[in-house]
Structure 1
Amino acid sequence: MIVALCALAAAGAVLYVRRRTLVITVKGVSMRPTLSAGDVLIGRRVRARRLRSGQIVVVEKPNPGEDWKSWSWPERSRHLMIKRLAALPGEPVPAAVRGRLGTGAVPPGAVVVLGDNLAESVDSREIGYFPLERVVGVALRTYTRGPRDIGR
């Protein structure tokens, strides 16, 4: 009986951690020099009220050719992107996206995300505002795999 309870408690703990934790391998160069391809990001799912501008976040990428409202992939088939949270609802629209989004404040329920490598990033400059509910989590820690290209 005690063994069964311990096993159940352990399974519950694993499920809890799994539902709150993200482990993502970085692909691409949009977050260089902060993150490089092959780095591993450990993240945590958070509520919107805990988000802060400047954090590295994991966001859902929109399905090409569809708007956000019609987009509803199953959890396992979502395409994720790692970006920096540039602005939250009510904050000024960052200069880097004013050409697309205009001036003023970010509207309620939306965020602006940008890659650190602006020359090679698909982000709010191309996609526009990201719905706040599409922010999946925030980075807690990153692990570097292999040598870095220093000076590039």
Structure 2
Amino acid sequence: MHDVFEKTFIATLVCTSDTLRGAVNVVPVGEIEGTGALGVREEGEGTALTFNYQGSPDGLPLFEITTGEPGAVLDIDINGALGLYPLDEEISNKWQLQVLEQGDEQVPARVQLKTEDGDAVLLDRSGGEGEETINVMDGEEVVFELRVVQWL
């Protein structure tokens, strides 16, 4: 079912929860180019993310996720929020991609993003409208539409 995703690619994600539909973006935090927290915006295009294929040790494709900016990778901050943060050589956060529906060139795939340990990525709306965050600590499980921009 997911062997098509067993390679490196660039894609955008759209959050499709019961209460919100919007593009996943990197919301800048700090001064380092290409870094920041992942947020959901109902309008506009999402941030293009590079899914660097790392293998499928447990049957699900495993990726290191970046924006293509050198030194920034998808990671979890101290509060459980996902974001693109400066690379820490001692921490290696890889991400599972569970494909729910394959999709094609016309229809995006439907996927769940999980930590390497299998914990689901969640959408937290407690901050109010426009303050939605993607994290691994609190919120509802979220399904994403994944639209491949380019196969690498």
Q: Same fold (TM over 0.5)?
A: no
When you count strand as a share of all residues, which structure comes out higher? 2
When you count helix as a share of all residues, which structure comes out higher? 1
Structure number with greater Rg is: 1
TM-score by length of 2: 0.31
TM-score by length of 1: 0.31
